[in-house]
Structure 1
Amino acid sequence: MASSPPLPAVLALADDLSGAAEVARALGGPVRLCLTTPTGGAAAGAHDLVVDLNTRHLPPADAADAVRSALGSGRSGAPGAAGPGALVFGGPGAYGLLYKKIDSQLRGNVAAEAVAYAEGAEALVIAPALPAARRTVTGGVVHVDRVPLHETNGWRAERATPPRSVAEAFSGLPVRTIPLEVVRSELPRLEAELKSVVASGAHPAPDAETDADLDAIVAAALRLGPGLRLLGSGGLAGALGRALARPAVPAPAPPSARAAAPLLVVAGTAEPGVARQIAHLTALGMRHLPLEPAELMSGAVEIRAGAVEVRAGDAPVDTVLSIDGSAGLHPGGGRALSAALAALTTAWPGRPDLVLTGGETARATLDALGVRELEPVDEIHHGAVHSRTPDGRSVVTRPGSYGAEDSLLRIATALRPHLAATPAAG
């Protein structure tokens, strides 16, 4: 019997770390998750590769060039520009499929990065729907819980206003919507519609409300060959993973001696529901340190909040750090807060295992710790990815806008099962 042809390896580019981790788990098989672009010869191999370009808050031109650089065509001297041996799509040992992760609420430099990503492609297939987080696309408009994105508060921490449609978000590229009725028709009809849109010089943006819709989009796009590049949320990445049917990753090893290390949860998000999530952790007896933004950014905290002080040599205490948003948050101030949280986290005694919410906070923290690669080992719930650092430390990343009220509880008890049986202090 003839052997099946090898599955094409995937190179996926993300604009923040929590999104990169989400894609790494969504692809479903062995994967490398890198925080820097590896050089070509060392990068190519049997594993899929996901690279966090960390471009969410860069100027648009620099974000676009980081995408070009990852594909081997960046301008010399630009942030993240490729050097000798950088990944070149289509070169020797290169990856057979490209994927570009974007935020399901269209935040970040989606237009500038898409223009760069489209260079050399026949077209992009654009599908930001994320059904697991109740984010859908109908009539070419992103909806959150059935409310159009531009009528929600999903962009309250951004300096700009949300786009009113997918086409508006990708200004600079001609984008044409494919209606949901076509997506849900027979596969040949969807394939023909994709071809028609591409032939017109536009980039198809199919509507999608369910994972089945995303599966159909991926199936049709793959049938048309690698000239069509996929661009979407973790939902579309999950559909790609299902289509490729990667071999299962072995179950993670049981907790090691690091289970005795402290657990540090860093809630680097402005989402209003985080207070309810934290309440579940304090009910388990975890200490909660809410940090006032101005004090945190001034460096005056010094591993201290209120009457609680933490010193090297203290007994390890499972702790939650969060931003006190009672006085309101300033749009655009997230980067400075993430950097301050990262500095505080790296100084924390006991080398704790980490739970990091918000991609910017996660990346700033791991950069400060000198971590350049992660091994994804498990997904605790959608978007909450458990990875290990090369030295064995556990890190859970999760987008700030994800998770039900018990999200942090589920993460903490997955890392420290004894917490579920520990009564609250007092």
Structure 2
Amino acid sequence: MASPPPPPLPSAPPPVLPYVVALADDLSGAAETARALGGPVRLSLDAADVAGTAAAHDLVVDLDTRHLPPADAAHAVRTALRAARADPPPLLYKKVDSQLRGRLAAEAAAYAEGAEAVVAPALPAARRTVISGVVHMNGVPLHHTDGWRAERASAPRSLPEALSGLPIRTIPLDVVRSVPAALDAAFRRIAASGAHPAPDAETDADLDAVAAAALRLGPGFRLLGSGGLAAALGRALPRPAAAAPPPMLERDHTPLLFVVGTAEPGAVAQIARLTVLGARHVPLDPADVAAGTVRLPPAAAAPSLTVLSIDGSAGPRPGAGRALSTALGALAATCPGRPDLVLTGGETARTTLDALGIRELEPLGEIHHGAVHSRTPDGRHVVTRPGSYGGEDSLLRIAVALRPRLAASTAATRTCHRPPPA
């Protein structure tokens, strides 16, 4: 008589996937990071949420430190890192501006305490690269562009200058693109010297190599970079797919409010594409906004598309950004009809949501690079976008994505404005 088959061996438990805690210095960057990571994620506007992270979800927190004094920004990073201690520990990520704005040196130094910070702010999707430790925009060194025109200071000439006080050593592209062992050895050699590695990068593949090396070397190496490096981390980690967003219900009768808080010259052309569709553009005098003397019309008089923007005809106002953003956000919060929101510029996005009492967003998708479509807990739809992102049709593409009925009007407009054949 045959022996009964042996009982099946117990299956191995599924591997515990490390979850990510990402810290951003502004809201549009936080939203960009949340989409870049790729899996289930919470996007919080409350730094206290770091302590309550559940391992089932990655967490991205906007620390809202871009406007703070350097010491206060560093303190916020240290506080968040202490709150993030858990068993098992999360993977840490620090989102920084690809143009090196904000309190980069102070926050990077705080983030690097007790670990090696791998500094890689390249963002290939926006044609922002790092060569020989110098950030380039469309092939031009950052300090030769106008990317810092609204800042009080001049753009740094290199990563070592931007991170003054944090010793870093650059790693050339040929090492980044070499075999993994060579890149790992470069990271270890720089760490042994008391410095932090800053690898060059031109492509997403370069950033993939950087993220993979940091993961191989373990939790003693922490990633610090733009949305490009966050996307590389997301590609490197095994992640369950984010839940598909429910179909968007028809919202044609819900007003759509664009709050353009960027000083970028391209914003003028972006707004013009909306006014062709019948959007009402309300350019606001900065002095009136700051004084709180602007009043919006009642709901009955409000069109379905409204654009609020700061009149930039007098040029940028270095150092005045936060005060204007706060006043602009407070004004936008009074807009009648509970509109869906399109918010450009991280400070404008944050101050508008703060004025509305919104503390969390659920990312749903990306309309174009950096234009992240989210939903609030009470069902309002919000798109955030860094001020420097997007072509001339950026706001138009966002409007059509949120209000598909506008696609026909857009097509008709293109036909009417098509130049006659030669």
The TM-score range, normalised by the shorter chain, is: over 0.9
Correspondence for 1:331 among 295, 318, 330 = 318
Correspondence for 2:142 among 130, 149, 164 = 149
Correspondence for 1:366 among 330, 337, 353 = 353
Correspondence for 1:98 among 75, 92, 99 = 92
Q: Does 1:272 align with 2:265?
A: yes
Partners of 1:284 and 1:420 within 8 A in 2: no
Show the counterpart of 1:286: 279
Query: C-alpha offsets along residues 152-178 of structure 1, whole Å, 9 cap, x if unaligned?
Result: 110000001111100111111110000
Distance 1:154 1:3, change over 3 A: same
Query: C-alpha offsets along residues 238-290 of structure 1, whole Å, 9 cap, x if unaligned?
Result: 00000014222233222225442100011100000011111111121211111
Q: 3-state SS of the aligned residue for 1:124? A: strand
Distance 1:40 1:317, change over 3 A: closer
Correspondence for 2:45 among 17, 28, 35 = 35
Give TM-score, length-normalised by structure 1. 0.91
Q: Does 1:314 align with 2:301?
A: yes
Q: 3-state SS of the aligned residue for 1:223? A: helix
Show the counterpart of 1:88: 84
Distance 1:419 1:40, change over 3 A: closer
Give the number of aligned pairs. 402
Correspondence for 1:24 among 21, 28, 34 = 34
Bigger radius of gyration: 2
Distance 1:61 1:315, change over 3 A: closer
Show the counterpart of 1:57: 67
> Could you tell me which amino acid in structure 1 is paired with residue 285 of structure 2?
E
Distance 1:392 1:102 in 2: 29
Partners of 1:102 and 1:128 within 8 A in 2: yes
Q: Does 1:5 align with 2:15?
A: yes
Q: Where has structure 1 moved over 4 Å in runs of 4 or more?
A: none
How far is the alpha carbon of 1:4 from its aligned partner?
4.5
> Could you tell me which amino acid in structure 2 is paired with residue 342 of structure 1?
G
How far is the alpha carbon of 1:297 from its aligned partner?
1.5
Q: 3-state SS of the aligned residue for 2:406? A: helix
- Segments of 5+ residues of structure 1 without an aligned counterpart are 73-86, 304-309
Correspondence for 1:66 among 76, 80, 85 = 76
Give TM-score, length-normalised by structure 2. 0.92
Partners of 2:21 and 2:50 within 8 A in 1: no
> Could you tell me which amino acid in structure 2 is paired with residue 105 of structure 1?
Q
How far is the alpha carbon of 1:41 from its aligned partner?
6.1
Distance 1:38 1:259 in 2: 36
Q: Does 1:111 align with 2:105?
A: yes
Distance 1:41 1:97 in 2: 14
Distance 1:37 1:259 in 2: 35
Correspondence for 1:261 among 254, 258, 268 = 254
How far is the alpha carbon of 1:42 from its aligned partner?
3.2
Distance 1:358 1:229 in 2: 27
How far is the alpha carbon of 1:88 from its aligned partner?
3.4
Show the counterpart of 1:78: none
Partners of 1:28 and 1:245 within 8 A in 2: no
> Could you tell me which amino acid in structure 2 is paired with residue 282 of structure 1?
T
Superposition RMSD on alpha carbons, in Å? Answer: 1.6
Distance 1:355 1:49 in 2: 23
Alignment of 1:383-398 (within 5 A): 383-398=370-385
Higher mean displacement: 227-236 or 38-47: 38-47
Q: 3-state SS of the aligned residue for 1:13? A: strand
Q: Percent identity?
A: 70
> Could you tell me which amino acid in structure 2 is paired with residue 380 of structure 1?
I
Distance 2:124 2:202 in 1: 6
Partners of 1:44 and 1:95 within 8 A in 2: no
How far is the alpha carbon of 1:192 from its aligned partner?
0.9
Q: 3-state SS of the aligned residue for 2:308? A: strand
Distance 2:253 2:274 in 1: 18
Higher mean displacement: 404-413 or 12-21: 404-413
Q: 3-state SS of the aligned residue for 1:71? A: helix
Query: C-alpha offsets along residues 37-80 of structure 1, whole Å, 9 cap, x if unaligned?
Result: 235663233100000000001000000000011122xxxxxxxx
Distance 1:377 1:176, change over 3 A: same
Correspondence for 1:412 among 392, 399, 403 = 399
Distance 2:228 2:117 in 1: 16
